[in-house]
Structure 1
Amino acid sequence: MRIGIGYDVHQIDESRPLVLGGVQIEAPFGLLGHSDADVILHAVMDAMLGALALGDIGVHFPPSDDRFKDADSMKLLEHVVRLVAQEGYQLGNLDVMVLAEAPKLLPHVMAMRTNIASVCHVDIGQVSIKATTNEKLGFIGRKEGIAAQAVALLVQADKE
């Protein structure tokens, strides 16, 4: 077994769509970033890469590389899942915590879990996503950004 932790944060940008967990969410703002700024998937990828000591998403998808400008983070996650498989591992389970004052994420959690489980080739029961506010404290509480933390357990892949 290998365990990794991931964290990501992006600043609010009122000119962009909000994409979290591969789901475009109706909101008056999105997140600023080189790619689609999906903090959930970025934290997930960092957790999976970290579990295998393969660096972080900045190493694999540098913001200085125009190929990743406005990139769909679901496609980036597919790449990370292939790297994990090449190392002989697969996702055992994933736990994600999103920190945001708004919007309410509960109506979107099942779609996010479904997206991630599908790309990772696991059962939806192996993917947990939770959300909380920051009780109006700090930059998250002032609605200046959204953050996500993820913990991934990787297990050796089944030999077929």
Structure 2
Amino acid sequence: MNFRIGQGYDVHTFGDGDHVMLGGVRVPHERGIVAHSDGDVVIHALCDAMLGALALGDIGRHFPPGDPQWKDANSLLFLRHCNGLIAGQGGWRVGNADITVVCERPKVGPHADAMRALLAAELGIGLDAVSVKATTSERMGFTGRGEGIAAMAVCLLVKA
């Protein structure tokens, strides 16, 4: 088989701070993220999708949250590791990725193109192969109450 599909999901609660990291982009917000690393739900979900496509476990297996070396780490390091890891598993690469952020705030739309460009560049794929979009949960559940943020990702891996 010359392709594999993976899906990923990540969630973090809001805490003290003045921004959130989403898709490698610093997005101003009245709250920060409670997380061991920078808490970038977009990149964490994408990494899980990439790893899942090749049955390589999840992001927590590769970057344990209790490991002090990952404290406040930039999640782009995780993405770079996962991209290299899949390439080393027989020459796979991301064919495309589709990511959905779930939150009431911050507004993702004004930052989506910057996220797409950064993720595409990091993965070495075309801008037209990366989608970042957002939705709300209609004020229901933890995201609807503004307690946190979530992201879902699907990616297609293809043989390089």
TM-score (norm 2): 0.96
In structure 2, the partner of 1:110 is 113
Q: Deviations over 1:2-49 (max 9, x none)?
A: 000000000001236311000001111121100000000000000000
The gaps in structure 1 that reach 5 residues or longer are none
Measure, in 1, the Cα distance between the counterparts of 2:152 and 2:28.
Answer: 22
Q: Does 1:18 align with 2:14?
A: no
CA RMSD of aligned residues (A): 0.8
Measure, in 2, the Cα distance between the counterparts of 1:64 and 1:105.
Answer: 29
In 2, are the aligned partners of 1:16 and 1:32 still within 8 Å (CA)? no
Aligned length: 157
Q: Which amino acid aligns with 1:129?
A: V
Moved over 2 A (4+): 14-17
In structure 2, the partner of 1:5 is 7
In structure 2, the partner of 1:126 is 129
Q: Does 1:75 align with 2:77?
A: yes
The alpha-carbon distance between structure 1 residues 145 and 59, as it changes in their structure 2 partners (threshold 3 A), is same
Alignment partner of 2:155 out of 139, 152, 160: 152
Measure, in 2, the Cα distance between the counterparts of 1:102 and 1:17.
Answer: 11
Measure, in 1, the Cα distance between the counterparts of 2:153 and 2:17.
Answer: 27
- Match runs of 1:26-41 below 5 Å: 26-41=28-43
In structure 2, the partner of 1:50 is 52
- Identity over aligned pairs, percent: 52
State the SS of the aligned residue for 2:72.
coil
Q: Which amino acid aligns with 1:36?
A: D
TM-score (norm 1): 0.96
